[in-house]
């Protein structure tokens, strides 16, 4: 399902817009730092879905661009009928952040979707925007152009939230194979929560703040879903699920508006809370991201705060666009990776059965899996109810506060090195800072796992073998 939040810069601390979210997927997740890359003329990329998807289709080739941007993203290994690796988004060197969020299309559109649909899927669109967009508005234009040229391979309706330091856009891509899409601008005074992604009233002609496909109004009129004399064109009611803002969305948007009225406005800690609250975040949340949308010239200093599982029981830590790499503990592992249960770290049968060899390098498998460790911590915490949750979550929120307090000094030091032409030294500084903080927190997590495991055994309460204990959630 996924979850995304945007806070415009006029409502944010230090006039820095913020974006946050997570993805709901059961498979493995890992952090990737993808370098800027050049491509040859005539290169292409494979996009779309397979015949095994819930809404089946065909994979196809579309042209690659000459150069793709450096970016941070979280990848994961499974969604039915979509080849791995997949992504819901991240942050690129130009300061464009992307989040993918499910947005259900009306049943008639889903039923109209061709059985051989082609074109980019939701993950393809998120990745391509990260690779190509220099502004949020350009990200919308890229998606619109891709749909017009190549189609859109859907699974029932989807949206993307795309943001830069000045503005954000929500774009919804609809089922039906008709190339329908609509995009709404979110300005400096905006707060938006997507789960699912929604857009409500739009004018009957595009404007600076609303864009849509050429056939957007006509299709609704032709099918009798909208009459021009019936009042405003409400996108959610005409083309979506008709439910408007879901209960959790309404609650979080109002909570953030209340915080925006404080003298300090909305800061990092508020967004950390918004994606870690147990009312929203549990085992389904595969990871967490918070991005300060920095208006800076030194792209290497851009930061994405990352948690390897749902932040309800895990910390968010800073990752720089300009650092040299990601610790292997936070990279791909075999734990929860789709297909790995039938593969080996053994090449003896590779000639006859290439698929029998693990897709995860042996060098990665010998490192600890941050995802596995933090998942253990999550469920040990949930099994010991509210007291353990307060203790574990409280610890991580204090860790995040310390990291946020020390980050400006590290950033300023790296900026001085960059201004002096010492790019390699700046990269080493950022890499070492990020790596050390990630691994310090991972060591804390292992200690907390051991403590909670001992406490659970010593409590005298039997460990249930059936049933699941978790906080009550709004969605």
- Residue ranges and CATH numbers for the domains of the chain are 3-320 (3.60.60.10)
Q: What is the pTM of this model?
A: 0.97
d(CA 213, CA 216): 5
* 61, 66, 70, 74: CA torsion to nearest 10: 0
Strands 191-194, 3-7: pairing is antiparallel
CB 353 within 8 A of CB 389: no
3-class state of residue 266 by DSSP: strand
In this predicted structure, what is the pLDDT of residue 386? 92
In this predicted structure, what is the pLDDT of residue 300? 98
Taking each helix axis as running N to C, give the angle between helix 136-150 and helix 122-132, from 0 to 180 degrees, rounded to the nearest 10.
130
Question: Please, what is the Cα angle at 232 between 231 and 233, to 5 degrees?
Answer: 120
Q: In Å, how far are 102, 105, 202, 415 from 241, measured between CA atoms?
A: 12, 6, 16, 47
In this predicted structure, what is the pLDDT of residue 462? 66
d(CA 392, CA 394): 5
What are the start-end ranges of the H helices in 267-384? 268-276, 362-365, 370-383
pLDDT digits (tens, 9 = 90+) for 123-172: 999 999 999 999 999 999 999 999 999 999 999 999 999 999 999 999 99
In this predicted structure, what is the pLDDT of residue 464? 65
Q: In Å, how far are 50, 81, 236, 333 from 84, measured between CA atoms?
A: 12, 9, 31, 14
Which residues in the chain come in under a pLDDT of 70? 461-465
CB 321 within 8 A of CB 71: yes
Look at residues 44, 35, 41 and name the one whose alpha carbon lies nearest to residue 131: 35
* 140, 143, 149, 155: CA torsion to nearest 10: -140
């Amino acid at each position: 399902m996924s979850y995304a939040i945007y806070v415009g810069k006029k409502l944010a601390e230090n006039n820095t817009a913020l974006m946050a979210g997570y993805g709901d997927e059961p498979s493995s997740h890992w952090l990737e730092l993808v370098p800027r890359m050049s491509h040859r003329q005539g290169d292409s990329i494979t996009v779309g879905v397979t015949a095994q998807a819930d809404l089946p289709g065909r994979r196809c080739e579309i042209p690659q661009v000459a150069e793709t941007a450096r970016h941070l993203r979280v990848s994961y290994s499974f969604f039915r009928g979509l080849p791995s690796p997949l992504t819901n988004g991240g942050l690129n060197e130009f300061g464009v952040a992307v989040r993918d969020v499910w947005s259900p299309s009306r049943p008639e559109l889903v039923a109209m979707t061709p059985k051989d649909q082609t074109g980019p899927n939701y993950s393809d669109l998120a990745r391509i925007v990260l690779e190509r967009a220099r502004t949020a508005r350009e990200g919308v234009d890229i998606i619109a152009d891709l749909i017009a040229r190549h189609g859109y391979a859907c699974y029932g309706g989807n949206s993307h939230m795309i943001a830069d330091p000045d503005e954000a856009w929500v774009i919804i891509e609809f089922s039906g194979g008709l190339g329908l899409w609509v995009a709404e601008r979110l300005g400096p005074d905006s707060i938006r929560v997507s789960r699912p992604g929604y857009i409500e009233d739009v004018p009957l002609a595009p404007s600076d703040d609303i864009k849509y496909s050429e056939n957007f109004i006509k299709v609704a009129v032709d099918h009798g879903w909208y009459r021009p004399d019936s009042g405003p064109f409400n996108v959610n009611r005409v083309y979506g699920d008709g439910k408007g803002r879901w209960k959790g969305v309404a609650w979080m948007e109002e909570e953030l508006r209340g915080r925006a009225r404080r003298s300090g406005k909305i800061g990092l800690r508020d967004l950390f809370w918004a994606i870690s609250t147990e009312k929203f975040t549990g085992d389904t949340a595969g990871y967490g991201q918070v991005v300060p949308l920095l208006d800076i010239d030194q792209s290497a200093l851009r930061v994405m705060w990352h948690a390897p599982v749902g932040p309800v029981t895990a910390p968010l830590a800073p990752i720089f666009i300009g650092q040299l790499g990601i610790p292997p503990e936070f990279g791909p592992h075999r734990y929860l990776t789709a297909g790995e249960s039938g593969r080996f770290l053994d090449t003896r049968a590779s000639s006859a059965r290439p698929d029998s060899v693990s897709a995860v390098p042996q060098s990665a498998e010998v490192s600890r899996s941050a995802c596995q460790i933090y998942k253990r911590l999550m469920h040990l915490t949930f099994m010991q109810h509210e007291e353990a949750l307060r203790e574990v979550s409280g610890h991580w929120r204090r860790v995040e506060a310390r990291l946020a307090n020390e980050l400006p000094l590290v950033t300023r030091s790296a900026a001085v090195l960059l201004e002096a032409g010492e790019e390699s030294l700046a990269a080493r500084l950022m890499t070492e800072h990020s790596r050390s903080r990630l691994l310090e927190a991972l060591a804390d997590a292992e200690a907390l796992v051991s403590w909670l495991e001992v406490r659970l055994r010593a409590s005298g309460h039997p460990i249930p073998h059936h049933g699941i204990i978790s906080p009550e959630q709004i969605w």
